[in-house]
Amino acid sequence: MSIHRFFLPGDCITQSTVVISGRLVHRLRNVLRLGAGDHIVILDNSGWEYEVELRAVGGGLEGVIIHKAVAAGEPRTKITLYQALIKGSNFELILQKCTEIGVTGFVPMVCERCVAGEPDSNRLGRWQRIILEAAQQSRRGKLPVLRNVLRFREACESATGVSLLPWEGEKVRGIGGVLRSLPKTENATEVSIFVGPEGGFSAWEQEFARSCGVWPVSLGNRILRAETAGLVAAVVTLYELGELNGSS
């Protein structure tokens, strides 16, 4: 049975103990039925994880640190997904699944063909919780960053590293081809992936992305939905860079 994992602020962690309070105490005791003598893993969002043994302290719980190690769930490659806003719960699915596979940042993006409105504070809070829960479940050591909503132009101008735009109009060049064509002196440790809304990118957006050095790439002969394309592109990128084949 896998050990439960939880992110806590760094100021809750000392050299020998972890201070546990608030909602986490309720979850440990009343939901998971854990108590003194049980072990959990605490993550400090800087890449370290702490195995702790719970002990009762007054009406609450405290964790005694048994072992400290570098979290193994973080990829070397930093992928930022620039995802156009899409309808319903599909954006939440993207956040959850891409967090699980190792994406390190998300930028919600407004494009010409977006029909979904910008998120309010309640929705942003829900998105943060989805990222948190997915990161804990998938053994991540750092929480992916959810950045502010950007317009497409701003997104293209702010992207760093190798920038890729999956597009059905590109028939030749795939993600692997782009990554393998880079000069050996250019380190592809940062990758930005741009995914459009349900109706795809407009012609202007495609041309503007090219002018900013964003590579159009093919994801094969099938047309993928907006909530699928980013996940597939991120998986292919991680595989091509050796993150999913046992060499990481």
Pick the more confident residue, 188 or 132: 132
Question: If you search the block for the tokens 């050796």, which residue do you land on?
Answer: 242
Q: Give the model's confidence band at 23: pLDDT under 50 very low, under 70 low, under 90 confident, else very high.
A: confident
pLDDT in tens, 39-95: 999 999 999 999 999 998 777 789 999 999 999 889 999 999 999 999 989 999 999
Amino acid 186: pLDDT:
58
Q: What confidence tier does 21 reach under pLDDT thresholds 50, 70, 90?
A: confident
**Could you tell me the domains of the chain?**
5-70 (2.40.240.20), 78-240 (3.40.1280.10)
Tell me how far apart the alpha carbons of residues 108 and 222 are, in angstroms, rounded to a whole number: 25
191 pLDDT above the threshold of 50: yes
Predicted confidence band of residue 149 (pLDDT cuts 50, 70, 90): very high
**E strand or H helix at 178:** helix 175-181
**Residue-level pLDDT at 184:** 61
* Burial bucket for residue 117 (CB in 10 Å: 0-12, 13-18, 19+): exposed
Within 10 Å of residue 237's Cβ, how many Cβ atoms? 27
pLDDT of residue 1: 59
List pLDDT tens digits, range 159-176: 999 999 998 888 888 998
**What mean pLDDT value characterizes the chain?**
92
DSSP assignment of 191-238 equals EEEEE--TT---HHHHHHHHHTTPEEEB--SSPPPHHHHHHHHHHHHH
